């Protein structure tokens, strides 16, 4: 845990000051439509190194580079494969991260030495204004310590990273609540490297055919957001089929429900979407887990959501959060 507090600035009036911090090698946490990012100047290797330090992130886990405008992609990387350009055209600004060749301007530390770079244009006004004002591409992973719950509010960033970050731009809760979908579209058929806020079904619509989903990487950590154990609260978390009566064993349990408040007694309950809306459930997922984690329970039980659309990404996060405590699960 870092001690001390970062400067917290409103996302609208704080842009100029935050951009100056980025330009001088500092770290700025900022809202995107998915989760809060921990940003540094992507052209500055020392600034990028500070991200790894602040997150206690292993150096093998590459960062996503964020651009203010889709037109910046060709300027930064030169030749963009047509299939990649088509997806950028269709979904940017938005919750889609694309894989391209790493341009020489981006230091290898940003991509953890990979020959490729992950890049996206966030669909959040403050994020794009910040990147535009900084005048540089911004490398930004999620603004949490490695392996822990992703931040969907400025408070989550302050609590998790403390003074390890120089400035936090507070833009309120993020709209999607779950990370971007990462796609490698350089080959014959697009491959989803990480399920995320952009549903696979929408990608398939866009390309007019099936895409391959690679849920985990075998061997090399292609996308460590896909490590078996990730996105985890501090409290042990278990995936269950649904709410069940308490076994009466004195264990204090919290329950993360999809749509219905369980009839059984729990010490704390979070309902993701009373309307049964998966987009709303995704938006509330990490916030609900943060709250249950802070509720002082011994164990958190979660039930899966329907395995369609963004529900697939929600279940993916739940399985990984559970895996930290139950290697068999």
Among 6, 14, 31, 37, binds ligand TXA (CB under 6 A): 37
120 marked among binding-site residues:
yes
Distance in Å, CB of 176 to ligand TXA, minimum: 8
Give CA–CA dist 102/92, Å, rounded: 19
31: contact with ligand TXA by CB under 6 A:
no
By CB under 6 A, is residue 283 in contact with ligand TXA? Answer: no
Burial (CB count within 10 angstroms: exposed 0-12, middle 13-18, buried 19+), residue 65: buried
Examine residue 226 and tell whether it contacts Mg ion (CB under 5 A).
no
Among 18-26, 30-38, 74-82, 243-251, which window interacts with ligand TXA (CB under 6 A)?
30-38
For residue 290, what is the DSSP state?
H
DSSP string spanning 215-266?
-S-SSS-S-GGGSSS-SB-SS-EEE-SS-----SSS--EEEEESSS--SS--
Q: Among positive and negative, which fits the CA dihedral 20, 112, 212, 101?
A: positive
Name the one residue in this structure whose structure tokens are 């979908």: 181
The residue (of 111 and 279) whose beta carbon lies closer to ligand TXA is 111
Return the residue of 111, 142, 273, 324 that touches Mg ion, per CB under 5 A.
142
266 is in an annotated binding site: no
- Interacting residue with ligand TXA among 28, 48, 64, 73 (CB under 6 A): 64
Stretch that binds Mg ion, among 3-11, 52-60, 137-145, 270-278 (CB under 5 A): 137-145
Give me the helix-helix angle, 154-161 and 278-294, nearest 10°.
40
Q: Is 148 in the site for Mg ion (CB under 5 A)?
A: no
**In this structure, what DSSP letter does residue 326 have?**
-
Residues 180, 273, 315, 324: which binds ligand TXA (CB under 6 A)?
Answer: 180
Q: Which residues bind to Mg ion, rule: CB under 5 A?
A: 142
């Amino acid at each position: 845990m870092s001690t001390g507090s970062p400067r917290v600035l409103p996302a609208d009036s704080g842009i100029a000051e935050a951009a100056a911090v980025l330009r001088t090698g500092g770290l700025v946490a900022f809202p995107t439509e998915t989760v809060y990012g921990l940003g540094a100047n992507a052209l500055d290797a020392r600034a990028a190194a500070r991200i790894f330090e602040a997150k206690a992130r292993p150096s093998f886990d590459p960062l996503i580079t964020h651009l203010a405008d889709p037109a910046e992609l060709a300027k930064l990387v030169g030749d963009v494969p047509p299939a990649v350009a088509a997806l950028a055209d269709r979904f940017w600004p938005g919750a889609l991260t694309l894989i391209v060749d790493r341009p020489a301007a981006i230091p290898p530390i940003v991509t953890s030495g990979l020959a490729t770079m992950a890049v996206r244009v966030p669909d959040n006004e403050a994020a794009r204004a910040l990147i535009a004002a900084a005048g540089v591409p911004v490398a930004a992973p999620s603004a949490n310590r490695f392996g822990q719950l992703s931040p969907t509010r400025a408070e989550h960033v302050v609590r998790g990273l403390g003074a390890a970050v120089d400035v936090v731009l507070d833009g309120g809760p993020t709209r999607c609540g779950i990370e971007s979908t990462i796609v490698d579209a350089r080959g014959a058929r697009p491959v989803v490297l990480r399920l995320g806020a952009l549903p696979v079904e929408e990608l398939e619509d866009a390309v007019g055919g099936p895409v391959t989903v690679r849920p985990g990487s075998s061997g090399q950590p292609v996308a460590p957001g896909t490590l078996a154990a990730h996105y985890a609260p501090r409290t042990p978390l278990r995936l269950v089929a649904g709410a069940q009566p308490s076994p009466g064993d004195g264990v204090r349990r919290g329950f993360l429900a999809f749509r219905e408040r369980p009839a059984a007694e729990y010490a704390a309950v979070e309902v993701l979407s009373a309307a049964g809306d998966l987009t709303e459930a995704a938006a509330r997922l990490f916030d609900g887990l943060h709250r249950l984690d802070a509720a002082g329970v011994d164990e958190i039980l979660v039930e899966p959501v329907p395995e369609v659309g963004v529900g697939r990404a929600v279940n993916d996060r739940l399985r990984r959060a559970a895996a930290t405590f139950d290697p068999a699960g």
